[in-house]
Amino acid sequence: MRWRQEYWTSIVLAFSLNTFAVGQSAVITLVFPSGARSLAMGEVGTALGDDESVLFYNPAGLGIQNSRWDRGAATESYEPLLPAFKIPDLWHVHWAGIYQSPNPAVGGFAGDLNYINFGLNTSTDSLGRELARYQSYEYVASAAWGFSLDEIGIKDHYWGVALKLVYSALAPGIGPGNEGIGTTYAFDVGYLWKFLPFMRFGLTFANMGPSIYYVTQSESDPIPFTINLALAYKNSFSVSGFHLLDVNAEFRAEREIVKNYPDKQPDPFYVAVWTGMLDDKSDYPTLQSNLEEINCHIGGEVTFANTFSLRHGFLLDVVGRRYETHLGFGIRIYDHFQWDFAYIISPEGYFRGIFPDGSNGSRDGQWTTTFTFFRIGSWSPADGKWWLKP
């Protein structure tokens, strides 16, 4: 972001946007995943589309009938960020609510709030003298709808749309015109296909919207338009009426596409597909440089007796030097309550034997916890034997 020199010369944020977003975009919250379950599997969910992280990964999942969302579900996630920097007021919280009608033709609806607190920061002049202090934060509020066209004979195909409102207060109250705050909007489009007995394919076009600016519109930055492709396996195994195992796994490929310029406005997302990827010979002159911009996520989970889940995954981000092992578990009781936990292992130099220099170590030791209350309006005596349910 560019700031007017006469107001201040240095904005010192405790949180570096480049730690997570390796492109040239603004609004880190738009690419910030939520939910300990998906995080423990290496940040997957675009093809699975079966839990409360669907607003981030693929709103089309809302169109698939899911007993978890029968008469409503609500969830809350919390995680302290970048433990290597030891900044206590750097954290992320996520709230979401989902409602799915018993009528499959209606589909499912969801809303969420993704909030990142960047902590107390200061602005200084060229001599290092403090000009102001301010609390920096950013949030994205979303609403989504997922649906199918089963009623007209189109089976096993699902679509979803999401609208996002962005409020980015990196230096609120600074300058006579409150220049430290930027607002914009974006929308996502998602598709999910169930094929073969246990396979799923997911595709999303995320964060399509206008650029954001903090000072003047002529000094704007693009938001992170992202394309996701994913393939998933989802299956259950029962023995003599006993719900023994659920097995889920996914591979997700993610590419952020933006095109920024030092002397003019960034390209809109629909132009950046060409100028920022297919025909970008300045930033990505070779096929290898283009491929290195693709982040890969892979992971899976095994759930025993509909109660206890173990999860494992990997994240590979070559440009951002994030090579991470993700671990986690979940506990589900009474078919209404679930607690999930995720943990990241990625010390500095991790995976050095495979990738030059290895990981930057920024997220090593980062953890996430999520509590979910589901099937809010649907209770039955069978809930007491949730381990027998399909």
d(CA 131, CA 57): 40
> Comparing C-alpha atoms, which of 154, 302, 164, 137 is closest to residue 226?
164
Spans in the chain with pLDDT lower than 70: 1-23, 125, 174-178, 281-282, 285, 390
The amino acid present at 93, given as its one-letter code, is V
Q: What is the CATH number of domain 10-388?
A: 2.40.160.40
Q: Which pLDDT score, from 0 to 100, does residue 22 have?
A: 42
What integer pLDDT is reported at residue 16 of this predicted model? 42
Considering only CA atoms, which of 37, 84, 87 is closest in space to residue 312? Answer: 37
193: its two tokens: 């296909």
Q: Where are the domains of the chain?
A: 10-388
For residues 325 and 345, give the distance between their C-alpha atoms in angstroms, rounded to a whole number: 5
pLDDT at 277: 79
CA angle, 136 then 16 then 57, to 5°: 85
> Is the four-CA dihedral 304, 306, 308, 310 of positive or negative sign?
positive
How far apart CA 307 and CA 163 sit, in angstroms, is 34
Pairing of strands 212-213, 220-221: antiparallel
Q: Which of 346, 361, 319 is nearest to 24 (CA)?
A: 319
pLDDT tens-digit map of 79-108: 999 887 778 889 999 999 999 988 888 999
Angle 246-248-251 from CA coordinates, rounded to 5°: 175
Cα 109 to Cα 54, 95, 99: the distances in Å are 11, 15, 5
SS3 call for 154: strand
Is the Cβ–Cβ distance between 212 and 183 less than 8 Å? Answer: yes
Per DSSP, 243 falls in state: E
